[in-house]
Amino acid sequence: MESIVRNDLHPAFSMRGITKMFGTVLANDSVDFEVLPGEIHALLGENGSGKSTLMNVLSGIYRPDDGQIEVYGELKEFRSPGDAIDSGIGMIHQHYKLAEAMTATENIVAGMKKPPKNSGKKDDVLRTDILRYASRSPAKTQQKIIEFSSRFGIEFDPSIPAGQLSVSQKQSVEIIKVLLRGASILILDEPTAVLTPQEAKKLFSVLRKMAAQGCAIVFISHKLNEIMALCDRVTVLRKGQSIETCTVSEIDAYDLVEKMVGRKINLSINKPDPDPERRVCLDVKGLTYSDSKSVPKLDNLSFTTYYGEILGVAGLAGGGQKELCESIAGIIRPQQGDILVDNERIAGLSPRDITQKGVAMCFIPEDRLGMGLVASMGIEENILLKEYALTKGPLIRMKDATTKAEQIINELEIKTPGLKHPVRMLSGGNIQKVILGREIHLNPKLMIAAYAVRGLDIHSSYTIYNLLNEQKQKNVSVLYIGEDLDVLIDLCDRIMVLCQGKNMGIVDASSTTKEEIGQMMSGTTLEELKRGVSYV
Amino acid sequence: MKRVMSMIVAVLMMAGIFAIAGCGDAKDAKKDEVLKVGVLYISPEDDGGYSQAHAEGIAKALATYGDKIEIKKLESVDDADVEATNAAIENLVNDGCKLIFTTSYGYMDPTVAAAAKYPEVYFSHCSGYKYSGNGYEGKNMDAYFGQIETARYLSGIVAGMMTETDQLGYVAAFPIPEVIRGINAYTLGARSVNPDVVVKVSWTNTWFDPAVEQASAEALLADGCDVMAQHQDSPSAIEAAESAGALAIGYDLTYTGAPNAYLTAPLWDWGTYYTYKIGQVLDGKWEVENYWGGMKEGVAKLDALSSLVSEEAKAAVEAARAEVTEKGNAFVFAGPIYDQNGELKVAEGESIPYGDQMGMNWFVDGVIGQIPS
Amino acid sequence: MFRITKKESFTKAEAIIYRLFGFSVGIIFSGIIIAALGYPVFKTFISLAEGSFGSSIAIRNTISFLIPLSVTALGLSIAFKMRYWNIGGEGQILMGATAAMGVSMVLPSGMPGPLMMLSMLVAGFIGGSIWALIPGFFRINMKTNETLFTLMMNYLAICFVQYLYFELWRDPAKKGFPGIQDIPFRARIPYVSGISLAILAPLIIVLVVYFLIKKTKLGYEIRVVGESEPTAHYAGMNVKKIMFVGVMLSGGIVGVAGAVKLMGSTGTLSSSLGGGAGFTAIVIAWLANLSAPMIVLVSFLIAALEQGAQFIQVRMGVPAAVADIVKGLILMSVLGSEFMLRYKILFGVHTASKKLEERASVDPTMQDSDPESEVVEDSI
Ligand SMILES: Nc1ncnc2c1ncn2[C@@H]1O[C@H](COP(=O)(O)OP(=O)(O)OP(=O)(O)O)[C@@H](O)[C@H]1O
Ligand SMILES: [Mg+2]
């Protein structure tokens, strides 16, 4: 294999004194950051600490107000993302916006530029080939793409439409796309936030291979274990400033958290005992739902939740979690089955009536803003969304919302310059806290929290776990839908495992193991496990 | 930051240029003795039709009085938009006009309102029926129009002589008395030399829309008409006749674009009136009147007959010209006149009185067409 | 090839500079044209300003232009907040005026003036809202394109009023001339020391609209619906009902603009009563960023420009066409600078499909699904 390390004397890129303001918000405050070729470098920081902004500056999306960028020792000024790509910088955003109807190949080839002539690099030859074949022979193009991908251990079928690829495959397409545009500096902004642990592992091996070939990789993640396992060095950002760069092998996770937050914090979940009375709150009976394309999503699903308890829901992505939440909240209508809260039917009621019956939902979709928030409004007005209708008279009550907003901002440490600052401009994590805070403040009987910590920094994640536990202690029944099995086990009292819309069984968190849950997630029912049958 | 700075500099520079340019303009002294005359036009001054006829008249007056007057004009003021009209008149007054001509019918009520508001300003409104003593109390508003029907009548004689199918086409804007009068006069003229003639009318409901006018004309031509006439602001009907190999009578202005169709046209010559009226004000002898000049005064005239017009037709026109010129509309609308139903409307020896002419809403015998009720 | 996205933010200083810059460019270019045609540049601009603000007549004229423009723009802004593109302002003005006219014709003539005016205003509201709700109904229930539909309704309204003008309501007292009778004198909005009390209409309606949008549940719902219908559903809102009420209010207020124009200015109905305000108001609403107080301010400036442009024809003898060019250039430059302020243009996209790719990588606002940046995405 050929090495594409260009010059080991220089870092792959170095950013010096980068400052970026958004209005009054100082997102990056004279940040220094550099990454060596062949290195996987983590960027760590709380929500809103300026990671995405810094990387958007590097990839030419934002222009810095101040500071310099050098790429392979050469001073650069990017006017557009195109300029950055031409300098070998590629960014993989958390959201892949591939053209769904086009095949992976077409997506990759679209917009590819001819490499400079006679550079003699092997990659450039390949790129020229792909471009040459692109208009004539899809089969050959695909073959070339497969050949190229396999160098990094990436596998996907380039002939199927992007819309039919799984999240992790889409990510792969994005990576190949960027690499084929000649990127040797790769930025991944929270690439693992929506991946399953298995998929994340695959990604890591891909990234290691790329690093071995000389790529410089910036890896943004809130998951410390990933950083510890994958990265060589880590740079910590706090409130827009670069605090420190350390070698991962010389530091432990707790120190990192301390550097990130700026003080010592407690990272443990205090699990209170569940309410022994075990009064039933939510009773779901035989729920069956197929979507508009009659793909079955929920399959005769039944379970109950109790007051003063957290019921976890585990399962692979797309296993029916979303549909379950939406059915309970009244957003979709299941074809069969019944939903009762306190023995009262809520199936068929409007979302607003269901809210009034004491059901609150915090669902963080993959695109965060998609549901439940009004992007251009401030926190205040987003708080109103769920409760404005509950007050009498034709006027909205801003005062209550303002008080609540202030309270939520304090409790959840939301970083915002003001109550009226559009939530669209908050960092990803802070946006989520707004939704969660709002739902908790509805004082519900049943609280549904789906993917509530997606994209949250550790500190915030623990804040949320504690908040959920507080709810539990207030005798609220909590339905927690999550991805991280460690957290599910630490946080929940019982865990229900979903697989393709079916209930595979409910296990006791204090006695189960990750392996057991993992097996159930991939289709083995609890009963079968007990009988010793396993399909995995 | 850099961008912001450069922008500031640019703005300052432009402001500088602007200031220097400004200094070059010496302010000229106010000439108080000059009479400012305001004119309101419904279309651009050079529309090749109605407004141009007025503008040429104003130009004649200006040529006569030279430095003693200054013309202030506003073009393309929609006469159906009362607010725009009001604002336009206000602007003329604001700039010091002491005599204001409002040249389109729709300006009538705003003119009345302005006259009441500014009693020191003289107003003169064209083609309406309100003036001092008639629908308005004040002493400062005139009405003026002309007996264009005399020229229409003569043009009807030309058409009546020239037609072979005995069917004349008439593209007409709106079913209002002014237009109806014209159609009747034209028909009476044509029938005075050719009793078999009929005049077919097509309404366009617009003063100016070449496409619609052309379509109307084409329909009439297809229906057997071989001479077109029109009461419109564009020459589309003449052009349609030219393309169809038929003949045509124009309106407002001489039309040179259709050498194989154009016969003649009833024309306005407003210069006579404007010179006369402005002279009154200059001499301090404003007199309220409802001016209604005709061929005698020279406000209305018939264009020179083109070479297409036959000798017989020329003779017929000349035969009538003297009497028409002398007696004006009283001759055109002299009895006996029958309406479309064959009822006698005007007895022998009588003539339609002025008031009835102004409100004319019926067609004479020989017109094929209807007046919407 | 280039593409357009909404900017993430801009500072106050930038806003002021862009706008000043745009205005100066407009002045400079129109100055060049004026000079090229041989008119004195400086004097022309002075009389432009003098014509808009320089005397009590000028100010009165400016205000009389301002009233219909601002009320119409305020009405339209409600629909625009919902991202319902009501282009039918002109028709709604006409139908509002028509309804008010109709009411004035049937009310007993002995009715007290204020009561009569009130009934006419209410009629104006109803007339405008019905006219707006016809396309609204189809949009809400059948997802037809409201832009085209509302636009068509303008022409329908014009034809309808023409029919009234020439036929159905033709006033026999006009001696055979076409036209509709004047409204009774007592139904005319009175003047107080030279200023028409019609000025109260925008002053009141701006407060109403501001209050409605900012303080009421309905206004809140309207804003949420405009931002994202799924979110509105999620919050349990009845989107159809909100749209319906919003369109009704929008058309109604525009209809009131028509009634006010009828009662305060024209005194009679014709198809020109709208005077293009329904279209100009769209520009105003956009320039004002749909903020109610800004709408009044922008309307004032546009009205002043309109009035000033007419005055330079009188004072300087500039032909109407040139005055229109001056007006147009200034307006275009201001619009242009506003556009540059709010959007950015990215050059250097090589192929159409590259657009897709860029869209994926250029998304400026986080992991976003920012609806605003989608709306204006366009490539030329
Ligand atoms: N387009 C924008 N307009 C205004 N403010 C912005 C914009 N983008 C980011 N910000 C602000 O800049 C700060 C840094 O945001 P950034 O997205 O870089 O944080 P982050 O470190 O990526 O956070 P997270 O982990 O939550 O994604 C935040 O306070 C955010 O509100
Ligand atoms: Mg981020």
pLDDT at B16: 46
- Lowest-confidence segment of A117-131, A168-182, B139-153, B279-293 by average pLDDT: A117-131
**CB contacts < 8 Å between A and C, how many?**
142
Q: Is the pLDDT of residue A6 over 60?
A: no
Chain segment A320-371, per-residue pLDDT in tens: 888 998 899 888 889 999 999 999 898 888 888 888 888 877 776 655 555 6
Token digits of residue A507: 């296990």
Provide mean pLDDT across the span C225-239. Answer: 87
pLDDT at A524: 84
Residue in the structure block whose two tokens are 């393709």: A500
- Residue with the bigger pLDDT between C226 and A122: it is C226
Token digits of residue A362: 């915090």
Q: How many helices (H) and strands (E) are present in chain A, helices listed first? A: 18, 20
Burial class of residue A508, CB neighbours in 10 A (0-12, 13-18, 19+): exposed
Contact A486, A223 (CB under 8 A): no
How far is the centre of ligand 1, averaged over its atoms, from the C-alpha of A105 (Å)?
33
CATH 3.40.50.2000 applies to domain B148-265+303-368: no
Contact C71, C260 (CB under 8 A): yes
pLDDT at A122: 64
Subunit contact B86:C21, Cβ cutoff 8 A:
no
pLDDT at A425: 82
The Cα–Cα gap between A200 and A180 comes to: 22
Closest protein CA for atom 8 of ligand 1: A425
Q: Which residues of B214-233 are buried (b: 16+ CB within 10 A; e: fewer)?
A: bbbbbebbeeebbbbbbbbb
Contact B92, C314 (CB under 8 A): yes
Q: State how far residue C270 is from chain B, nearest Cα, in angstroms.
A: 6
How far is the centre of ligand 2, averaged over its atoms, from the C-alpha of C369 (Å)?
14
Q: Find the ligand nearest to A376 CA.
A: 1
| A327 Cβ closer than 6 Å to some ligand 1 atom | no
The residue count of chain C comes to 380
- Residue with the bigger pLDDT between A237 and B253: it is A237
Token digits of residue C235: 């919050």
Cα separation of the two ends of chain A: 35
Contact C376, C5 (CB under 8 A): yes
Subunit contact C18:B86, Cβ cutoff 8 A:
no
Subunit contact C268:B105, Cβ cutoff 8 A:
no
B172 contact residues in C (CB cutoff 8 A): none
pLDDT at C374: 32
How far is the centre of ligand 1, averaged over its atoms, from the C-alpha of A250 (Å)?
29
Mutate to test the interface with B, among C28, C72, C314 (most CBs of B within 10 A): C314
Subunit contact B83:C61, Cβ cutoff 8 A:
no
How far is the centre of ligand 2, averaged over its atoms, from the C-alpha of A236 (Å)?
14
Subunit contact B25:C42, Cβ cutoff 8 A:
yes
How far is the centre of ligand 1, averaged over its atoms, from the C-alpha of C79 (Å)?
32
| Partner A, chain C 332-371, Cβ-Cβ below 8 Å | 346-351, 353-371
Subunit contact C223:A352, Cβ cutoff 8 A:
no
- Mean pLDDT (chain A) is 86
The tens-digit pLDDT sequence of chain B (373 residues) is: 444 455 455 445 544 444 444 433 333 444 457 999 999 999 888 877 788 999 999 999 999 998 999 999 999 898 888 888 999 999 999 999 999 999 998 899 999 999 999 999 999 999 888 999 888 888 999 999 989 999 999 999 999 999 999 999 999 998 888 899 999 999 999 999 999 999 999 999 888 788 999 999 999 999 999 999 999 988 899 999 999 999 999 998 888 889 999 999 999 999 999 999 999 999 999 999 999 989 998 999 999 999 999 999 999 999 999 999 999 999 999 989 999 999 999 999 899 998 888 888 899 999 999 987 6
Provide mean pLDDT across the span A1-20. Answer: 70
Q: State how far residue C274 is from chain B, nearest Cα, in angstroms.
A: 8
Q: State how far residue C285 is from chain B, nearest Cα, in angstroms.
A: 22
Nearest residue, CB atoms, C368 vs list A96, A372, A424: A424
Mutate to test the interface with B, among C46, C196, C266 (most CBs of B within 10 A): C266
For the segment(s) B34-146+270-293, the CATH number from 3.40.50.300, 3.40.50.2300, 3.90.79.10, 1.10.1200.10 is 3.40.50.2300
- The model's pTM: 0.79
pLDDT at B18: 42
CATH 3.40.50.2300 segments of chain B: 34-146+270-293, 148-265+303-368
Q: Find the ligand nearest to A48 CA.
A: 1
pLDDT band at C368 (very low <50, low <70, confident <90, very high): very low
pLDDT band at C164 (very low <50, low <70, confident <90, very high): very high
Q: Is the pLDDT of residue A155 over 90?
A: no
| A49 Cβ closer than 6 Å to some ligand 1 atom | yes
Mutate to test the interface with C, among B78, B82, B184 (most CBs of C within 10 A): B82
Token digits of residue C261: 């124009």
Nearest residue, CB atoms, C17 vs list B8, B174, B177: B8
Would you list the domain boundaries of chain C? 68-293, 351-380
pLDDT at C3: 59
Chain segment A456-499, per-residue pLDDT in tens: 888 888 888 988 899 899 999 999 998 888 899 999 999 999 99
Provide mean pLDDT across the span C251-260. Answer: 97
Q: Which residues are bridge partners to A234 per DSSP?
A: A42, A246
Contact A271, A265 (CB under 8 A): no
- In this structure, how many other beta carbons lie within 10 angstroms of the beta carbon of residue B349? 8
The Cα–Cα gap between C67 and C277 comes to: 10
Q: Which residues are bridge partners to A507 per DSSP?
A: A495
How far is the centre of ligand 2, averaged over its atoms, from the C-alpha of C46 (Å)?
53
Of the candidates A190, A243, A195, the one whose C-alpha atom is nearest the C-alpha of residue A218 is A190
Prior bond of B336 cis (ω within 30°): yes
Chain segment C77-96, per-residue pLDDT in tens: 999 999 999 999 999 999 99
| C367 Cβ closer than 6 Å to some ligand 1 atom | no
Of the candidates B96, B86, B44, the one whose C-alpha atom is nearest the C-alpha of residue C307 is B86
pLDDT at B23: 39
Task: Express as a percent the part of chain C with pLDDT over 70.
Answer: 88
Subunit contact A351:C235, Cβ cutoff 8 A:
yes
Subunit contact B11:C21, Cβ cutoff 8 A:
yes
Nearest residue, CB atoms, B44 vs list C162, C275, C321: C321
Between β-strands A13-22 and A25-35, what pairing exists: parallel, antiparallel or unpaired? antiparallel
Highest mean pLDDT of the ranges A185-199, A349-363, B84-98, C339-353: B84-98
Q: State how far residue C278 is from chain A, nearest Cα, in angstroms.
A: 28
Q: Looking at residue A27, what DSSP letter applies?
A: E
| A52 Cβ closer than 6 Å to some ligand 1 atom | yes
Q: What single string gives the DSSP state of each residue in B189-213?
A: HHHHH-TT-EEEEEE-S-SS-HHHH
C267 touches chain A (CB under 8 A): no
Subunit contact C315:B11, Cβ cutoff 8 A:
no
Q: Is the pLDDT of residue C161 over 70?
A: yes
Q: Is the pLDDT of residue A427 over 80?
A: no
The Cα–Cα gap between C213 and B297 comes to: 66
Q: State how far residue C78 is from chain B, nearest Cα, in angstroms.
A: 26
